[in-house]
Every structure is written in C-alpha cells, then in structure tokens.
C-alpha cells in the first residue's frame, strides 16, 4: 500500500487545485507560511501507509519561526520544546519509569516507526494560529483519515481534545482502536491527559495485533 493513489486523487480534485493556487499566490505576495513548502507533506514522506501503526492527530502547524516541519506536535532540532509536547513527555515519564525527558522536540523517530503525526490543517500564516482553517485542508485530511480506516487494520488513533475527537466519526471503531483524552495543552492537560496511559495502551494494542510496539524512548537518544 502506498499513499500515492490517495494523495494523487485528492490533489487532482478541484478543491485542492484552488487550495494550492491560494497558497502559491500568498507565498508569491510575500506572506510567510509555515511550514516551508518542501515540508508540508513530511508526515506522509516519513510514515509510509504500509508501515502505519498509529495516528496522533493535531490541529494546525506551529506558527512561530523555525518550529513547524510537517509533523504534528514536533519541532525542528534546536527549537524550544512547546508546552503541549512538554506535557506529552511528562505523560511518557509517568508511564515509563525509565523515560528521560528530551531537551528537543524532534519526533521524526516516531514517524519513522509508523506513527503518523497528522495535523488536520497542514499550513498556517506566521503568527496567526488557525489562519488556514477552512481553506480546504480539512477536506483533504478527512479523506486521509477515511482511507486509513478503510485500507489498514488495527491502527491506533490517538484523539486528544475536542477538535481531534470530532474525527472519530470517520473511523471504523470495530476495525481500529480509538483512544480519546483531553488535549495535552497547559489549558487541559491536568483535566485527564496526564495519567491517560495512552502510550502504554498503544503499545499493548499494537503488540496484541502483531504490529509491534513503538519505541517511544527513541526521542531520548
């Protein structure tokens, strides 16, 4: 299985042509958009469909300079760890006694193991969170979620916060595992995200289905 048939079909759709034209025009006019154009589809490049084990769903990319690089919750090496990711690390330390909280926020090692770090919106204007909401990305990523549900088996979906949880309707809950918790942001992490046990649960589910556990500790190395 490859992403190409799905991505190719969606990119050929009229809504995507309009989305692409709007992005190109904005960039040409000097609007700073994150992540850089070459990084927009990194989640798909780093996590092939036939290697997919889990999906962690974010909202839109980080909007400050040098942060976003196409993976939900992840930032480039050398960039300060954002608060939501810091809480994800705290949760990992609660679940695994030997987890050492990293000083960086680069999650590519998870992506390379089969964790699709997918934002529902793939671009954002600098310093303007949610600025590309309803530009067309939601239609694209909803279709991605539907196809993951249809084309894979025993994928674990981690839906944190109300925005992500709305996507549960796109997933066959009998075919896949859906884990839901509050968002890891400082506003809600203490309302149930911290202590949710999702990283251990994910590995238990993956092991039971024969897919193999994720080495969450890879970010510590």
Residues in the chain: 221
What's 128's DSSP letter? B
What pLDDT band is residue 7 in, cutting at 50, 70 and 90? confident
Query: What's CA 14's distance to the chain center, in Å?
Result: 25
d(CA 210, CA 212): 6
Beta-strand (E) ranges in 75-203? 115-119, 124-125, 156-160, 177-181
Q: What is the pLDDT of residue 150?
A: 94
Cα-flanking dihedrals φ and ψ of residue 75, to 5°? -130, 165
d(CA 135, CA 36): 17
Over 80: is that where the pLDDT of 1 sits? no
Query: Please, are residues 17 and 46 in contact by the beta-carbon 8 Å criterion?
Result: no
Q: Evaluate the CA torsion angle 159, 163, 166, 170 in order and state its sign.
A: negative
Q: What is the pLDDT of residue 117?
A: 98
Query: Please, are residues 49 and 155 in contact by the beta-carbon 8 Å criterion?
Result: no
Q: Are strands 33-34 and 156-160 parallel, antiparallel or unpaired?
A: unpaired
pLDDT in tens, 34-62: 999 999 999 999 999 999 999 999 999 99
Query: Please, are residues 11 and 3 in contact by the beta-carbon 8 Å criterion?
Result: no
Average pLDDT of the chain is 96
Over 90: is that where the pLDDT of 8 sits? no
Instruction: Give the residue numbers marked as catalytic.
Output: 60
Query: pLDDT exceeding 90 applies to what percent of the chain?
Result: 94
Query: pLDDT exceeding 70 applies to what percent of the chain?
Result: 100
Q: What is the pLDDT of residue 142?
A: 96
Place of tokens 């992005």: 23
pLDDT in tens, 91-147: 999 999 999 999 999 999 999 999 999 999 999 999 999 999 989 999 999 999 999
Q: What is the pLDDT of residue 134?
A: 86
């Amino acid at each position: 299985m490859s992403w190409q048939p799905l991505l190719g079909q969606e990119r050929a759709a009229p809504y995507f042509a309009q989305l692409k034209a709007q992005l190109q025009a904005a960039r040409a006019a000097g609007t700073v958009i994150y992540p850089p154009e070459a990084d927009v589809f990194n989640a798909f490049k780093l996590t092939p469909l036939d290697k997919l084990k889990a999906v962690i769903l974010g909202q839109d990319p980080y909007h400050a300079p040098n942060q976003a690089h196409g993976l939900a919750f992840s930032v480039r090496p050398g960039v300060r760890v954002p608060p939501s990711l810091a809480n994800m690390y705290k949760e990992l330390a609660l679940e695994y006694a030997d987890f050492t909280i990293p000083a960086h926020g680069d999650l590519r090692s998870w992506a390379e193991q089969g964790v699709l770090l997918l934002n529902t919106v793939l671009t954002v204007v600098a310093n303007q969170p949610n600025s590309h909401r309803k530009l067309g990305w939601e239609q694209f990523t909803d279709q991605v979620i539907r196809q993951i549900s249809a084309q894979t088996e025993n994928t674990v979906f981690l839906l944190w916060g109300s925005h992500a949880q709305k996507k549960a309707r796109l997933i066959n809950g009998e075919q896949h595992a859906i884990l839901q918790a509050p968002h890891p942001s400082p506003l809600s992490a203490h309302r149930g995200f911290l202590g949710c046990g999702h990283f251990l649960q994910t590995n238990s589910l993956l092991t039971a289905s024969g897919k193999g556990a994720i080495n969450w500790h890879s970010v510590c190395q």
